[in-house]
């Protein structure tokens, strides 16, 4: 990623917090990376979107998506960045609960069954949110060719993806912030 240090600096400035936190995985942590502080900022979203397209170079896919709300801005940013390079991509969002009216679907967007897709998450701890998105998009009929994250906290997510046969890549890891992940239990 060409602007890697700029993204790390932006995380330090806007998204890295210290204290006592409970993560989406249920784990306790003394630090928190608020990915939305990056993906909902103009420069942050540009860096992430361009970086993800670079990270995914060489992988054949036609759509990118993930769990709503965390993936929403990232998906939009990647679609715009792809269009700027002349690449056509579709996006999709996965609901936590099926839509209570209309189609009652978990998956929203123009993605079609049979598509090769990438699942995105902002901050990966155990990978639980991304794996739920994987389950829903596979159930919809798509093939997940890669899971990507903005930051890998290195707390089991990569191993959980590997156990499911899913390639995983991340723009950054927690080590880029000079913080080490706790030992695996």
| Domains in the chain with CATH codes | 4-177 (3.40.50.2020)
* pLDDT tens-digit readout, 101-130: 556 689 999 999 999 999 999 999 999 999
Cis peptide before 69 (omega within 30 of 0): yes
Do residues 141 and 63 make contact, with C-beta atoms less than 8 angstroms apart? no
pTM: 0.92
Output the six-digit token pair for 44.
Answer: 């942050």
Higher pLDDT: 97 or 139? It is 139
Unique residue bearing structure tokens 């929403």? 72
Which residues have C-beta within 8 Å of that of residue 41, sequence separation ≥ 6? 10, 14
Query: Nearest CA to 37 among 55, 59, 12, 56?
Result: 12
């Amino acid at each position: 990623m060409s602007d890697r240090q700029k993204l790390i600096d932006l995380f330090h400035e806007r998204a890295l917090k210290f204290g006592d936190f409970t993560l989406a995985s249920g784990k306790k942590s003394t630090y928190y990376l608020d990915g939305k502080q990056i993906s909902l900022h103009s420069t942050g979203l540009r860096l992430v979107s361009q970086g993800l397209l670079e990270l995914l170079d060489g992988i054949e896919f036609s759509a990118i998506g993930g769990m709503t709300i965390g993936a929403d801005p990232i998906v939009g940013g990647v679609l715009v960045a792809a269009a700027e390079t002349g690449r056509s991509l579709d996006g999709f969002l996965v609901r936590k609960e099926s839509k209570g009216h209309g189609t009652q679907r978990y998956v929203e967007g123009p993605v079609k069954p049979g598509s090769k897709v990438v699942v995105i998450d902002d901050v990966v701890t155990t990978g639980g949110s991304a794996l739920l998105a994987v389950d829903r998009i596979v159930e919809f009929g798509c093939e997940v060719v890669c899971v990507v994250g903005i930051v890998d906290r290195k707390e089991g997510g990569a191993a959980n993806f590997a156990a499911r046969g899913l390639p995983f890549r991340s723009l950054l890891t927690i080590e880029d912030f000079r913080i080490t992940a706790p030992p695996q239990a």
